[in-house]
Structure 1
Amino acid sequence: VTRRSPAQRVVDGVPHFAASELSGAPAFDVAIDFSLPEGFDPVLALCLERKAGLVSGTTGLSETQRQALIQAAASIPLVWASNFSLGVAVLDELVERAAGALAGWDCDIVESHHIHKQDAPSGTALTLGAAAQKGGAQPHYASLRAGDIVGEHLVQFTGMGERIELTHRATNRDIFARGALFAAVQLNGRAAGSYRVRDLLSA
Structure 2
Amino acid sequence: MNTTLAITGGSGRMGQRLVALAHADSRLHLVAAIERDGHAALGRDAGEVAGAGPIGLSVTTDLPAVPPAVMIDFTAPVAMRQWIDVCRRRKIALVIGTTGLADSDHKLIDDAAKEIAILQAPNMSLGVNLLFKIAGEVAKILGDDYDKEIVEGHHRFKKDAPSGTAMGLAEAILKAMGKTRDSLVYDRHGDDVVRKPGEIGMHALRIGDEIGRHTAYFAALGERLELTHVATNRDTFVHGALKAAKWLAGQKSGRYAIADMLGL
Q: TM-score, normalised by structure 1?
A: 0.87
Larger radius of gyration: 2
After TM superposition, list the pairs within 5 Å mapping 1:154-165 onto structure 2.
154-165=215-226
1:148-203 residue CA offsets vs partner (Å, 9 max, x unmatched): 21110011111232222111000001111111111111111112111111211118
Distance across 2 between alignment mates of 1:176 and 1:112: 16
Q: Please say if residues 67 and 92 of structure 2, whose CA atoms lie closer than 8 Å, have aligned partners that are also in contact.
A: no
- Among 95, 106, 109, the alignment partner of 2:147 is 106
112-121 vs 162-171, greater mean Cα deviation: 112-121
RMSD of aligned residue pairs (Cα, Å): 2.6
Counterpart of 2:34 in structure 1 is: 16
CA displacement, residues 125-169 of structure 1 (integer Å, 9 cap, x when unaligned): 111011111121642112222222111001111123222211100
Task: Describe the shift of the 1:23–1:110 C-alpha distance in structure 2 as closer, same or farther (beyond 3 A).
Answer: closer
Give the structure, 1 or 2, with the largest relative contact order (CA under 8 Å, sep 6 or more): 1
**DSSP 3-state at the match of 2:157:** coil
2:244 equivalent in structure 1? 183
SS at match of 2:143: coil
Amino acid across the alignment from 2:5:
T
Q: 2:108 aligns with which of 68, 92, 99?
A: 68
Shift of 1:15: 4.2
CA distance in 2 between partners of 1:14 and 1:143 (Å): 35
Distance 1:73 1:28, change over 3 A: same
Q: Is residue 126 of structure 1 aligned with residue 145 of structure 2?
A: no
- Structure 1: tracts of 5 or more residues without a match: none
Say whether 1:135 aligns with 2:176: yes
Counterpart Cα distance in 2 of 1:50 and 1:98: 42
TM-score normalised per structure 2: 0.68
Unmatched segments (≥5 aa) in structure 2: 7-21, 38-59, 178-197
* Cα distance change, pair 180–23 in 1 and its aligned pair in 2 (3 A): closer
**1:166 equivalent in alignment to 2:227:** yes
Aligned to 2:134: 94
CA distance in 2, matches of 1:11, 1:82: 25
Give the counterpart letter for 1:82 in structure 2.
Answer: P
Counterparts in 2 of 1:138 and 1:195: CA distance versus 1, 3 Å:
farther
